[in-house]
Structure 1
């Protein structure tokens, strides 16, 4: 025989049926007649207490779940570096976005050659102005078949480029500033004079 859940339930209900109790009439009487029949309670010390709520099931207790907090520096896309003599505390402050950046460079849509020229020109100008921290937006390279090309080039220019001695530290930005698609760059405090 096939699966017959409702027929089995109907048979079980008919077999286990309890004897019928007194029928409670629906409230169809006239409200005025109802209030004539009602007598006030004698003076007793009655108190009202709310019905205790049944404890929630385990799934309901944990719902909605807490949002997952993933820090940028815990991902595989994170990058950072520091010059010799720069403390870990300073790098941590940079990573957490506690050092305000004053200028932003966006390299989206540029070729590597164009980006290199623009990047070095931007850093020179920032050094001339005496900027302490800047943000370089290079993207994550998710649409590139070869991976994050500009991101890796920015890391290379920061570590081995002609202006590397003026860079104290760099770290991937916080999610609100671009996450792994942007980098904070901490520059030396000494201004760079034009020659």
Structure 2
């Protein structure tokens, strides 16, 4: 008679031992699950707001190549929802500027942080028209207007910005922009 290998004998012994020990075991009864609670509207709004902040911070950190912006070049941008008449009024300075920030003379990281805080504060106050003074980059030498190009990029990336256009000469000309913000939904 052929003798079984030790590993086969051990495996069969393990299986029979397990079955013998489990013969009088009874399955656990199903546990009742707690009813699923849907988050309240305020919780959703809070998380949506947090998501928006994170996206804004991420977009300001994004290193996307922007087109070169000249010192005397006018900036303009608008979302499809903004009409020509609104853009004309914005460019003529017909909207009341509710607050402004002066970024020129700052480094890019300083300007990024200051702009981020400023826009968040304006949004929380319900402001719809602001002015951003970015400067013309005259002190930047051959590099051209660094902050101006960054502001152009950052404002286009932020969903709460509906439109912006270079300011009238009396308000800073091509060294500043009027910005139209979406009305605060919260």
| TM band (smaller chain) | 0.5 to 0.7
TM-score when scaled to structure 2? 0.59
d(CA) in 1 for partners of 2:74 and 2:165? 8
Which of the pair is proportionally richer in helix? 2
Which protein has greater RCO, CA pairs closer than 8 Å, 6+ apart? 2
Q: Describe how 1:56-135 pairs up with structure 2 within 5 A.
A: 77-135=73-131
2:140 alignment partner, SS class:
coil
Residues 66-90 of structure 1: CA deviation (Å, up to 9, x unaligned)? xxxxxxxxx9511100012110110
TM-score when scaled to structure 1? 0.57
Q: What residue is the counterpart of 2:144 in the other structure?
A: 147
Alpha-carbon RMSD across the aligned residues, in angstroms, is 1.4
Task: Please list every run of 5 or more consecutive structure 2 residues that lacks an aligned counterpart in the other structure.
Answer: 1-70
Give the CA deviation at 1:108: 2.1
Give the CA deviation at 1:192: 5.2
1:173 to 151, 162, 167: 167
Runs ≥4 residues deviating over 3 A: none
Q: Who wins on radius of gyration, i.e. which is larger?
A: 1
